Structure 1
Amino acid sequence: MADQTETARVPETGVADLGLFGKPLFQDPSARGLAKVGVVDVGSNSVRLVVFDGAARSPAYFYNEKIMCALGAGMAETGHLSPEGRVRALSAMRRFRKLADGMGLSELTVVATAAVRDASDGRDFCEEVRRETGLRIWVIDGEEEARLSAQGVLLGWPGAYGLICDIGGSSMELAEISGGRVGRRVTSQLGPLKLRDIKGGAKARQAHIKEVIAGLQEKMGSQRDRLFLVGGSWRAIARIDMYRRGYPLHVLHEYRMTVRSVSATVKFIQQSDLGKLRSACGVSSSRMALVPYAAEVLSRLVQSFKPKDIAISSYGIREGMLYEQMPQRLRDRDPLIEACRFAEAKDARMPGFGKVLYDFILPLYKSAPAPRKRLVKAACLLHDVSWRAHPDYRAETCFDNATRANLGGLKHSERIYLGLALLHRYSNKRENTRFADLYEMVDENTRLEAEILGKAMRFGAMLWMNKEEDRGELRWFPKKKVLELRLTADMMPLFGEVAQSRLNSLASSLGAEVTVSVAKTTAKPET
């Protein structure tokens, strides 16, 4: 698959410019063409169908189904695909084709990786699938697999740099990324299905792993930035790491580990009853059977490359296939902001008010760094998307949605900050909820900052009328600890008792005094 870029002029969408972050592209015809993109990944261990609503920069998973087929089981001895795996995989492909037809998908893009490309009967399997379903399977080589996996990581982290490691059932690929581009790529046969078949037990297996990784390191050179882990076996190990640590937020994407925690978790796996561990961590039995072999690879990998930190990516080859189809101008966008815009356009009562709210409260963040303003922007875009929830549970629903949603470009601490801000959009207090353990993932100062943002949105939403109407301005003097509200005469009727109470609550969290005045004209804050 060749790299695709889009250089044509962006058509006018009729959507107003949104300041710092440019125009939203999800309504553009080239982006809407990505709605309902179906891909199938025929791997050594599983066959998975994913249908993306890919019009937004951070795509929604419209449909996601995995069937464990173990096509690559026993290949080291026989040289061909597992007969039972073939039956299961063909059945899966029939089902996926039927589902795609029912969803109205014009086509499915199907790729196969190590098991099918290495098997003596791989071509025969592809022909069988074509005869039975009409689906053409694209068998890609290891370097192409590495490139697509790296592009999947770029879908979630546009500015990411470091080393991608994608482990499947029969292979493991490495790729480097920097500046939004994929660099050197290598492939190996360090998949757990193949490692399981090595003769000579653990000693021979570990010697083999050490030798292969030394060769990979020689080809890739020094890679001491971030290590991004892609693949089901890595995600299973991350689940176990969370369990061992008692980590409260069970979101795998952007979960961070250190070399030391990897070492501790590998030992934990070796010393545990795998059946009990599987049940406790919610890992399937077929996946857990491969975890000990993958853990040996990960242990050697981090010892050899010594990354500065380790991040789990839920995005991989399937997301890379979607990224392949995106115009360059969509690739370059911030996945968090685009996803929030998409959510606002779909679910908010007044789409577009998020920008008005952001401009209104921006004076509180004049000196804030760009990453903080980015989260403020995201919160303003999402401030009203959960309005259908029952009022008694709306604040908790907002927190739950923000912390567990499929959003790219968010560290776990940023998820908590965003969740707390949206919780306080609907509630002054956060005590006595079921999320208390998650609050402790950020420090007290961050919790206060999120509370201030939430209360600022809570007050700003009280001035909700026509989004084009001038409503006044908020001014913040941090040294004097004075919060000044200047409203236009037309807006003063909106400043009733409840609005006054919410403004006072915001001032209390800021430790500030409040002044309110009427202005005939209002200077627009810079965006």
Structure 2
Amino acid sequence: MDGNTESGRDDWEIFRRPLFDDPETRALKRVGVVDIGSNSVRLVVFDGAARSPAYFFNEKIMCALGAGLSETGRLNPTGKDRARAALRRFKRLAESMELPTLAVVATAAMREAEDGPDFCDEIARDIGLEINVIEGTEEARLSAQGVLLGWPGSYGLVCDIGGSSMELAAIKGGQVGTCVTSALGPLKLADLNDAKAREKFIRKTMKSLAKTMGTQRDRLFLVGGSWRAFARIDMHRRDYPLHVLHEYRMDADAVAATTEYIRNADLEDLRQACGLSTSRMALVPLATEVLTQLVKTFEPHDIAVSSYGIREGLLYEQMPQRLRDRDPLIEACRFAEAKDARLPGFGRRLFKFVTPLFEGADITRLRLVKAACLLHDVSWRAHPDYRAEMCFDNATRANLGGLKHSERVFLGLALLHRYRNKRSDTRFEPLFALLDDASLQRAEVLGKAMRLGAMLWTSDTVSDGAKLRWNAKTSEVTLHLLPEVADLFGEVAEARFKSLADALGGTGHVEIGALPEG
């Protein structure tokens, strides 16, 4: 259905063998990171497929250590009390989880406050945690590496906004380039009460940043809680159907429209509607002023929100290069299949079975086909009446890197069709608007092909005995079966084959005998 290209390629040739059982990769199991920021203190514990890890544990305490720092030069006393309590809790949690390592990093507030070194010494002495206070450019580099965890090989400008600082880093071809830090964090800007003085300071600082970073007209990646809050408000303004912040896209017009929307809104009503904390909402108008000038200065061709930042960058730092080069989506799906599927390894053979229907597809499309085949059976424990819905929910809302929102919906729809013939009359219909008609059809074809293929093998020891062929010129799909497999093609399989042919807009034929070459 996609033209003509080579088919029947070896799966390992395209995606290479999985690495989650490799000793170097397994050493990254249960990695813990504590991030002491100017606004929050957070513990994240990563687990699962190292290239696309799940958040085994994730807890944040809003401490506002950097509040009032510009005026006093010292950490916020109340914030220090909250941070102490949070760090004691995190230390105990790490011990109970038996984490092999717990990396603790602190950023702008700790490095700028005159009492920052004393507070670090106190935490080391009383709690037993060694805090690594990193420089602004190092913070920028690690945040950029966090973006690369989700977007391998990406390019553009990474902007990480914290409470007391804002960092920029250039990325190109999967590598981090120039990094720079600034004082454009909203907690610092809050100390500039005069709006005109604040605007002048932001514009002057941004001009200086542009001189250092040079021309940046590519994608702008937004990292940090204030940017995510802005994106959530943009979703609310647009009535956007998929409430997943990672890989959410905006453009300059959307930034301008949402800025105006915030300016005219009742902030408390907006906070409640978007599910934001009071402390976070207080910073959003200030962060919006920075974002407006950032977009005007660098004129990115599009804007992407990243949920990955410094914490994920610290994990990326520990990865061998051959793991960094892997596709995070495929590695995560392989891990899910190995952990939850009834027949681990079957997804590879299912991929081989369905790919003749997607001849001409580039690697961008084939990776979605591969991901669907790996995930096709991981929700088998769900009640049959809800299995299709659970598959869709898992694909569209799971913590998966390297997926645009439209690709999430494509993957979810393919898996829905793996268990359900029709997609109408579901609560997911508003999300289908993120796909064009051709993509809707491809997802349906993929799902129905997987549904058929799952009936033609009974165990992972049975040799492949079926092959699909699609002739776009004659609109004919042929199912070739070895004689010893023909008994598996019963009434239900026949009905599923007809449904697949109908989705292709063609006719179906079954041939029993030797399988065709190629």
Please state which band the TM-score falls in when normalised by the shorter chain.
over 0.9
Matched, 1:141 2:118: no
Letter in 2 for 1:475: R
Letter in 2 for 1:365: F
1:390 corresponds to: 383
1:328 corresponds to: 321
String of CA shifts for 1:144-174, please: whole Å, max 9, x gaps: 0000000000000001100000000000000
1:3 corresponds to: none
2:499 corresponds to: 505
CA distance in 2, matches of 1:256, 1:470: 42
Q: CA deviation at 1:512?
A: 1.3
TM-score, normalising length: structure 1: 0.95
1:118-517 to structure 2, matched below 5 A, reads 118-199=112-193, 201-468=194-461, 469-517=463-511
Secondary structure at 2:287 match in 1: helix
Contact 2:144 2:171 in 1 (8 A): yes
Q: CA deviation at 1:54?
A: 5.3
1:25-40 to structure 2, matched below 5 A, reads 25-40=19-34
Q: CA deviation at 1:515?
A: 1.2
Secondary structure at 1:143 match in 2: helix
2:69 corresponds to: 75
TM-score, normalising length: structure 2: 0.97
Structure 2 gaps, min length 5: 1-9
CA distance in 2, matches of 1:68, 1:405: 25
- What percentage of residue pairs aligned between the two structures are identical? 66
Secondary structure at 1:136 match in 2: coil
Letter in 1 for 2:325: D
CA distance in 2, matches of 1:446, 1:452: 10
CA distance in 1, matches of 2:378, 2:408: 16
Q: CA deviation at 1:136?
A: 0.3
CA distance in 1, matches of 2:160, 2:167: 5
Contact 1:37 1:54 in 2 (8 A): no
CA distance in 2, matches of 1:521, 1:174: 56
Secondary structure at 1:339 match in 2: helix
Secondary structure at 1:104 match in 2: coil
String of CA shifts for 1:485-504, please: whole Å, max 9, x gaps: 11011101100000000000
String of CA shifts for 1:417-445, please: whole Å, max 9, x gaps: 11100000000011111111111111222
CA distance in 2, matches of 1:435, 1:412: 14
Distance 1:510 1:195, change over 3 A: same
CA distance in 1, matches of 2:242, 2:420: 22
Q: CA deviation at 1:395?
A: 0.4
1:12 corresponds to: none
1:8 corresponds to: none
Letter in 2 for 1:181: Q
Contact 1:191 1:294 in 2 (8 A): yes
Secondary structure at 2:105 match in 1: strand
Q: CA deviation at 1:364?
A: 0.5
String of CA shifts for 1:7-56, please: whole Å, max 9, x gaps: xxxxxxxxx97341001000011101101000000000000000001543
CA distance in 1, matches of 2:204, 2:238: 31
String of CA shifts for 1:226-273, please: whole Å, max 9, x gaps: 000000000000000000011010000000000010011111111111
Secondary structure at 2:57 match in 1: strand
CA distance in 2, matches of 1:478, 1:467: 31
CA distance in 2, matches of 1:222, 1:176: 10
Contact 1:356 1:467 in 2 (8 A): no
CA distance in 1, matches of 2:460, 2:475: 29
Contact 2:392 2:415 in 1 (8 A): yes
Contact 1:403 1:416 in 2 (8 A): yes
Distance 1:188 1:54, change over 3 A: farther
Contact 1:94 1:132 in 2 (8 A): no
In the alignment of these two chains, the number of paired residues is 508
Letter in 2 for 1:484: T
Contact 2:234 2:254 in 1 (8 A): yes
Letter in 2 for 1:30: E
Secondary structure at 1:18 match in 2: helix
Secondary structure at 1:242 match in 2: helix
2:3 corresponds to: none
Letter in 2 for 1:336: L
Matched, 1:109 2:72: no
Contact 1:34 1:55 in 2 (8 A): no
Secondary structure at 1:349 match in 2: coil
CA distance in 2, matches of 1:69, 1:370: 45
Contact 2:140 2:169 in 1 (8 A): yes
Letter in 1 for 2:174: G
String of CA shifts for 1:72-115, please: whole Å, max 9, x gaps: 00001100000000000011000000000110112210000000
CA distance in 2, matches of 1:407, 1:238: 19
Q: CA deviation at 1:192?
A: 0.2
Q: CA deviation at 1:521?
A: 4.5
Contact 2:169 2:179 in 1 (8 A): yes
Q: CA deviation at 1:300?
A: 0.4
Residue number among 38, 41, 44 corresponding to 1:44 in the alignment: 38
CA distance in 2, matches of 1:430, 1:19: 34
CA distance in 1, matches of 2:44, 2:179: 25
Contact 1:422 1:454 in 2 (8 A): yes
